[in-house]
Structure 1
């Protein structure tokens, strides 16, 4: 029967309670599977790396030994004895690593920065993939007081400067209420001009084509590149250049304003009338009736005159007879066929 040798054994807690093993005595922790050797004062786990200061490290001579520097120079480094020298086997700093960051490929959430673009740990250039500017160039531009004083888009003081975009926005807002009061070149042009001049303006009529299609009644203004379209508001007024007339938007249509709007209605015996610039009134059918500057006459000069006084008839009892007995009629006394 073979001989069995058993060393002291128990749980790790029991070993701790037991205390130091005798010098050379071994103990086995049944729960952690650790083996310890005592020296009468402390218990050392078998296989644990030697430790201490680097100066206290023994000379390399037994391959496979490990030594952990616990303080002083190279604190935290672990060395392995290769039989000749102690070789460091762990890394704590990037300088401990061989190779360069160039050996690392770019990832989806990280990227490399060129060494030339880093100064004192800070990236010194910005780029949008095409335009590249250094931090110094950007600072020079921002600090250039001749180009940039205080840009304050919210400021209202006379010394505040607005950005170009802010100024443009303010101009566009102002145009909505100011420009509609200006003139337009035409209100009947259905085809947009082929070569408009900057700021040319038109009222878009029904049946407009091209980019004006379906924009009826809007004001079109050429901005140098495209047509800006303004939807009229009630009260907007435009002077029509080619007609020399003023039209205003009443919410439904552009109507003539700035002149008399009275409707001239023809009365009894008259035809015509209306609101046009020139109104024509026709008297009867024009049979023997003439209209002069100050009077209307029937066969002018023949005894009947219509003027501001009323109707006057020259009755001399010879050529024209007033017959009260027969319904107040006027009769011709003598009808003379005349001579040959």
Structure 2
């Protein structure tokens, strides 16, 4: 009959009640499948891995033994006895690793971060594979106003930017050619219109009220929400719609510079014209009629009479004729005494 040798056995709870096994005595926990061996002082777990505090770990001397730190310092670490030293074989922290952290899967590709480029858990450098910049260098670059323009609609500095709305307004202004030449609806309207349309423009006169107050001589343009005001520069020219006349800014006032061309022609003795409201006429200059500031007179001896009716010239065409060769002067021609 075969012989059976059984070691002391029972549940782990029963072993705890039993206490310390004798030196060399073994105990098997039927519920956890753990094997313990006693030394007369404590029960040591064998068969799977030694365990306990790190301080209770025996000296390394037997190749192949495993020891798990179950509590206290370095809890969770598993050590391997190589016959000379205990070597940690599992990692609990990044500081446990040597070299670089490589081949970290994120679903489709892999990434690599050098330990030296991490500060307090944050990547502190950016690289495109050739150029490397630290976070501090990037921040310094972004904060450098001499390298990066700032949005400032009131500035004309080369280091500042205009907002998109400001740029749009300037483009609309340029499209309508407001500065060198454009149309305004009126130059004598003192009160802003109640319901202006976008891009309606006016020259602001003296005594303007409301939103136009204190904006004398400026061009007001409705942007759809409020009035924009533009101070005129010398040479700006505007066509005034309600007058159908053109005005230019001379540096101190808007002056009339043109309108519908006026031309007067009446033979060789009456000329005039121009674009101003007042037209100067030269009547018969050099032909026997003198035009003064407020009177018309005939030169003596020219056969022209000025009376209450107006200006009369009686020429019979025979005895008195125009001498075209002598500047259309009058001369006596053939004088015939007739018959009895």
TM-score by length of 1: 0.40
